[in-house]
Amino acid sequence: MSRLPYSYVGIPLTKAPFDKVTIEVFVDFFCPFSAKASPVLFQLAALDGVAVRVIPYPQPWHWEGGVIATCFNVVCKNMPDNAVEYYIALMKNITKFKEEGKKTSVGAIQELAFSLLPMSKEMKMKKETFMEECNDDESPGVIRMLKNQIKYGRTNAIHETPTYKVNGLVVGASSSWDLSKWKEFLKGLLSEECQ
């Protein structure tokens, strides 16, 4: 029997998970191109009629990306209001993860990911709880979440990161696209005559 996801994979960068234009972005937390693409995603999310979702999709040659994605899913599951802030912190610190990755230690990468958690008085997570959650494969555990995210990517024939789907179709957008290039690309979808 196949296990189905408990909720839609990925996290919305916008209040509305879907809109006139919904952009899904498959990212690898260890991929420099995914990190390069991140700032423009927030600019896109600020546009009227555009919803942006980020879907962790670690590449097989970046084992570290899978560890980081699992840490990200811990936050998505337990601290969903902090997920976007955590996503930004993870992408901004990709070079630190590369340095930790040289130690080839899952624990070292999890420690760094824990240190980047947005901690407020209201929302604290103990380190032991975080580490335990990172290795939880029970449904709806975070490893199960990652397996569903990877399954979703594979069923959409995703081979590289970042990969963009616009309204359900994979498009040839690049991590080097700035906001003006995206606006030009989306112009027809956002125009009044398309309604």
Q: For 55-83, what is each residue's pLDDT tens digit? A: 999 998 888 888 899 999 888 888 888 88
Measured between alpha carbons, how far is 131 from 82 in angstroms, rounded to an integer? 18
CA 51 to chain centre: 14
31 burial type by CB count under 10 A (0-12 exposed, 13-18 middle, 19+ buried): buried
User: Residue 18: pLDDT above 90?
Assistant: no
Instruction: Please indicate whether residue 194 or residue 181 has the higher confidence score (pLDDT).
Output: 181
Measured between alpha carbons, how far is 46 from 128 in angstroms, rounded to an integer? 36
Instruction: Please indicate whether residue 144 or residue 39 has the higher confidence score (pLDDT).
Output: 39
Order of all β-strands in the sheet with 169-171 = 11-12, 50-56, 21-27, 163-166, 169-171
User: Residue 100: pLDDT above 70?
Assistant: no
Q: What is the pTM of this model?
A: 0.86
Q: For 109-124, what is each residue's pLDDT tens digit? A: 888 888 888 765 455 7
Adjacent-strand bridge partners of 169: 166
